[in-house]
DNA sequence: CCCTATTACGGTTCACGTAACTATC
DNA sequence: GATAGTTACGTGAACCGTAATAGGG
């Protein structure tokens, strides 16, 4: 059969299913649902007019036809994998790919990358922003661990927000995080000014997705509790998809934001944002840096530099 | 690299392009446009961070990286092709797949297949109707020969209307064709009746796509010329997508049709259609039967039977 | 100027997922 | 009833095509 008309996807599904003798297990390996595997096998069977599996109660059995082609099939994919690995050897050595959440990228990473590039002019940085939740939602069959594994496999450095990821890779905690209330200094003056914590109820509250959805209580709920303020509607106010957007709104004086001050260093230094009260709640979540074990020196260099830069 | 994340389509494109050292030639082999190949190669290059081709003025050159993986890649696809061929050996022997144009299927093949099935009860017939023109139009990159080749590869028997196809397969002419004017006998009586050829101008003319588009002159133009009738609007009248529909309209007395009487045997025998004049134009086109060389006995049996049945 | 590859943009198909169902233990 | 595979149906993304562009002889 000619290369141009090989049903590659179906063959791959068949190879994996034959190896596991289970569509379910094959689906897990392929990061899809059993339905998809069933489709592919069915397509292959009807395209060829050959039955490949005997459907037993649990699990499957290979037919003679299936057995007859299994070895070349495995060799085939084995060879393709080999070819890919051979190519990987030639990866451009100068590029360092980093994957990080959007707000981290925008507010912590991008402002300081020039420092690293100054130290390592031979490196080309390739920064990708990725969010875990939409990614997971779109690929229902993937469990979280395998998604992270995939990210670590395709990026040199991965930055995550959350708990310590249970992966067998190099993991470093970048910095402990806390949240506090921040706002434009303009809101501290004039009519309706913010003078004591209880005054927050007179001003708009700004939220971002992570502050609302991560963990049990929203960032605002946590802060209100720490401030000893009761509110029946702790999540009222404007909502933004990214912390960076909520922060920008706060800078424009549109309201009060509860976020981690680490994301607002420049604004706090300039005074365009201020922390009016000394009420701060430590977060269990943190930023973690992941990298493959045995990664090349430039990756270690970057990880070391980033840890240092953010620790300051 | 793991099987589940092999970019199979891109790898295939690369293998073919590397073999030809030309995206254009690769595109032809893959039955796609050069654009598609360019996309695939680009995707592979950027996914790996490896440049695979040096783009020269005309044609391409392989980079060291590309050369390093080419052999395993070829072996890989070679093995997959082998595996597919191994499976083909196990094809269900009972089914016989036939591909034919719609009107041929409806008016010539279906009415008589029961005869064949009576002779060969062990065979399951699988009849597909396919039209060449829309198929070709939808896949611009495929030339006619390769489409036909594909059809012959995927069907045991292919019936075509047209000139003798220049393919290296078994080709038989099923029957010489001619066209003549047919109509319901009702139109030969009463007011405005059809008594001499010139009377045709007083009645609606029925056309089908093939009669209008095949070759230089439409069926009606040819017939009018043979009848010695001048018409400034030879293609006026009702149009149908298939000859079978035009014929049915003629049976209902809706007008005059110029078509091949072979498609109307039953109606001519019953007298529900008549050929009022003895003006017949032989067609250069004909129905041809194609089958793979060395096809199994049941295919030869079908071909023999069909030739015989239609020759009567 | 011609030939080949690339890019932007838009469309179609194919692979996939959800949900409901079937079958077997 | 639990588990695994199947089927119907709808959706999104991957793949591809058209048209316009680049670039090199």
**Cβ-defined contacts of A184-193 (< 8 Å, 24+):** A184/A250, A184/A251, A184/A252, A184/A253, A184/A272, A184/A273, A184/A274, A185/A271, A185/A272, A185/A273, A185/A274, A186/A253, A187/A253, A187/A256, A188/A274, A188/A276
pLDDT value of position A140: 61
Tell me what the mean pLDDT of segment B82-93 comes to: 86
Residue listed under structure tokens 């009022």: B276
Element (H, E) at B300: helix B297-311
| pLDDT interval class at A224 (50, 70, 90) | very high
**pLDDT exceeds 80 at position A138:** no
pLDDT value of position B297: 85
Task: Record the tokens describing residue B278, joined without a space.
Answer: 């003895």
**pLDDT exceeds 80 at position A134:** no
B9/A11 CB distance under 8 A: no
pLDDT value of position A261: 94
pLDDT value of position A191: 82
| B155 close to B128: Cβ distance less than 8 angstroms | yes
Task: Record the tokens describing residue A11, joined without a space.
Answer: 């063959």
Give the span between the Cα atoms of A246 and A242, in whole angstroms.
Answer: 7
Which bases along strand C come within 7 Å of a protein CB atom? 3-8, 13-19, 24-25
B4/A16 CB distance under 8 A: yes
CA distance A47 to chain B (A): 9
Residue listed under structure tokens 């047919």: B182
Give the span between the Cα atoms of A209 and A240, in whole angstroms.
Answer: 6
Range(s) of chain A covered by CATH 1.10.10.10? 3-90
Give the span between the Cα atoms of A186 and A250, in whole angstroms.
Answer: 10
In chain B, residues with a C-beta closer than 8 Å to the C-beta of A12 are 3-4, 6, 8
pLDDT value of position B59: 77
Tens-place pLDDT, residues A20-61: 999 999 999 999 999 999 999 999 998 888 999 998 877 789
B65/A9 CB distance under 8 A: no
**Å between A37 CA and C16 C1'?**
10
Q: Which nucleotide is nearest to A9 (CA to C1')?
A: C15
In chain A, residues with a C-beta closer than 8 Å to the C-beta of B65 are 87, 89-90
B6/A80 CB distance under 8 A: yes
The secondary structure of chain A, three-state, reads CCHHHCCHHHHHHHHHHHHHCCHHHHHHHHCCCHHHHHHHHHHHHHHHCCCCEEECCCCEEECHHHHHHHHHHHHHHHHHHHHHHHHHCCCCCCEEEEEECHHHHHHHHHHHHHHHHHHCCCCEEEEEECCHHHHHHHCCCCCHHHHHHHHHHHCCEEEEEECCCCCCCEEEEEEEEEEEEEECHHHHCCCCCCCCHHHHHHCCEEEEHHHHHCCCCCHHHHHHHHHCCCCCCCCCCEEECCHHHHHHHHHCCCCEEEECHHHHHHHHHHCCCECCCCCEEEEEEEEEEEECCCCCHHHHHHHHHHHHHHHC
Tens-place pLDDT, residues B188-241: 988 888 999 999 998 999 999 888 888 789 999 999 999 999 888 888 999 998
pLDDT value of position B155: 87
| pLDDT interval class at A263 (50, 70, 90) | very high
Give the span between the Cα atoms of B251 and B249, in whole angstroms.
Answer: 5
| pLDDT interval class at A142 (50, 70, 90) | low
pLDDT value of position B305: 92
Closest CA to B183 of B256, B269, B266: B256
Closest Cβ opposite residue B12 in set A3, A50, A86: A3
Closest CA to A67 of A80, A49, A79, A50: A50
Task: Record the tokens describing residue A19, joined without a space.
Answer: 């190896």
**pLDDT exceeds 70 at position B252:** yes
pLDDT value of position A221: 94
CA distance A40 to chain B (A): 14
pLDDT value of position A127: 86
In chain B, residues with a C-beta closer than 8 Å to the C-beta of A26 are none
Range(s) of chain A covered by CATH 3.40.190.10? 95-175+286-311, 178-282
Tell me what the mean pLDDT of segment B292-311 comes to: 89
Angle between helix axes B64-88 and B8-20 (nearest 10 degrees) is 110
Report the DSSP beta bridge partners of residue B208: B240
Burial class (CB in 10 A: 0-12, 13-18, 19+), A277: middle
B180 secondary structure, DSSP code: E
pLDDT value of position B125: 86
Tens-place pLDDT, residues A225-248: 999 998 888 889 999 988 999 999
Closest CA to A114 of A123, B301, B47, B198: A123
Closest CA to B11 of A275, A76, A206: A76
Give the span between the Cα atoms of A180 and A274, in whole angstroms.
Answer: 10
Among A12-21, A148-157, A250-259, B262-271, where is mean pLDDT lowest?
A148-157
B81/A50 CB distance under 8 A: no
pLDDT value of position B138: 67
Task: Record the tokens describing residue A153, joined without a space.
Answer: 């496999």
Tell me what the mean pLDDT of segment B264-273 comes to: 93
Which tops the pLDDT comparison, B248 or B167? B248
CATH of domain A3-90: 1.10.10.10
pLDDT value of position B127: 86
pLDDT value of position B123: 84
In chain B, residues with a C-beta closer than 8 Å to the C-beta of A8 are 8-9, 12, 80
pLDDT value of position A223: 95
Cα B19–chain centre separation: 31
| A7 close to A43: Cβ distance less than 8 angstroms | yes
**Å between A38 CA and C23 C1'?**
16
Which tops the pLDDT comparison, B130 or B51? B51
Tens-place pLDDT, residues B131-171: 877 676 666 556 777 778 888 888 889 999 988 888 889 99
CATH of domain A95-175+286-311: 3.40.190.10
pLDDT value of position B140: 59
Residue of chain A minimizing CA distance to B26 = A4
At B208 the three-state DSSP class reads strand
At B133 the three-state DSSP class reads helix
* Most confident option among A14-18, B188-192, B282-286: A14-18
Q: Which nucleotide is nearest to A58 (CA to C1')?
A: D4
Burial class (CB in 10 A: 0-12, 13-18, 19+), B269: exposed
**Å between B143 CA and C1 C1'?**
27
CATH architecture of B178-282: 3-Layer(aba) Sandwich (3.40)
| pLDDT interval class at A216 (50, 70, 90) | confident
Distances (CA, A) of B164 to A117, A154, B161, B263, B285: 69, 54, 9, 20, 8
What mean pLDDT value characterizes chain B?
90
Tell me what the mean pLDDT of segment B274-289 comes to: 93
- The neighbour count for residue B80, using CB atoms within 10 Å, is 28
Tens-place pLDDT, residues A158-172: 999 988 888 889 999
**pLDDT exceeds 80 at position B64:** yes
Residue listed under structure tokens 């008589």: B112
β-bridge pairing A280-291 and B60-62: unpaired
Give the span between the Cα atoms of B60 and B48, in whole angstroms.
Answer: 19
Residue listed under structure tokens 């060879």: A79
Distances (CA, A) of B197 to A256, B100, B233: 93, 34, 16
Angle between helix axes B23-30 and B8-20 (nearest 10 degrees) is 120
Q: Which nucleotide is nearest to B20 (CA to C1')?
A: C4
Give the span between the Cα atoms of A223 and B310, in whole angstroms.
Answer: 89
What share of chain B has pLDDT > 70, as a percent? 97
What mean pLDDT value characterizes chain A?
90
CA angle B98, B99, B105 (to 5 degrees): 95
pLDDT value of position B231: 87
Closest Cβ opposite residue A4 in set B31, B48, B82: B31
Tens-place pLDDT, residues A283-293: 999 999 999 99
Closest Cβ opposite residue A86 in set B69, B88, B89: B69
Tens-place pLDDT, residues A174-192: 988 999 999 999 999 888 8
């Amino acid at each position: 059969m000619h290369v141009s008309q090989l049903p590659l996807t179906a063959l791959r599904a068949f190879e994996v299913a034959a190896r596991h003798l289970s569509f379910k297990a094959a689906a897990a390996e392929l990061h899809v649902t059993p339905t998809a595997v069933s489709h592919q096998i069915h397509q292959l069977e009807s395209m060829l007019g050959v039955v490949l599996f005997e459907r037993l109660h649990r699990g499957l059995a290979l037919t003679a036809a299936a057995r007859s082609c299994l070895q070349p099939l495995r060799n085939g994919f084995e060879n393709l994998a080999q070819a890919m690995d051979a190519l990987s050897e030639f990866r451009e050595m100068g590029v360092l790919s980093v994957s990080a959440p959007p707000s981290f990228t925008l507010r912590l990473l991008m402002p300081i990358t020039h420092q690293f590039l100054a130290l390592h002019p031979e490196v080309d940085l390739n920064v990708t922003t990725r969010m875990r939740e939409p990614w997971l939602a779109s690929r229902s069959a993937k469990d979280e661990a395998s998604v992270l594994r995939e990210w670590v496999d395709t990026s040199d450095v991965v930055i995550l927000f959350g708990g310590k990821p249970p992966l067998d890779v190099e993991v470093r905690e970048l910095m402990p995080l806390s949240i506090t209330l921040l706002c434009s200094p303009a809101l501290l003056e004039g009519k309706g000014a913010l003078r004591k914590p209880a005054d927050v109820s007179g001003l708009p509250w700004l939220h971002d997705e992570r502050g609302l959805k991560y963990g049990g209580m929203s960032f605002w709920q946590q802060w209100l509790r720490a401030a000893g303020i009761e509110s029946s509607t702790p999540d009222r106010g404007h909502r933004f998809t990214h912390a960076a957007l909520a922060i920008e709104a706060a800078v424009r004086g549109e309201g009060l934001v509860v976020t981690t001050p680490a994301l607002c260093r420049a604004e706090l230094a300039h005074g365009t944002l201020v922390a009016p009260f000394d009420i701060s709640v430590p977060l269990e979540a943190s930023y973690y840096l992941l990298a493959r074990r045995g990664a090349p020196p430039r990756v270690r260099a970057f990880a070391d530099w980033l840890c240092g830069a953010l620790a300051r």
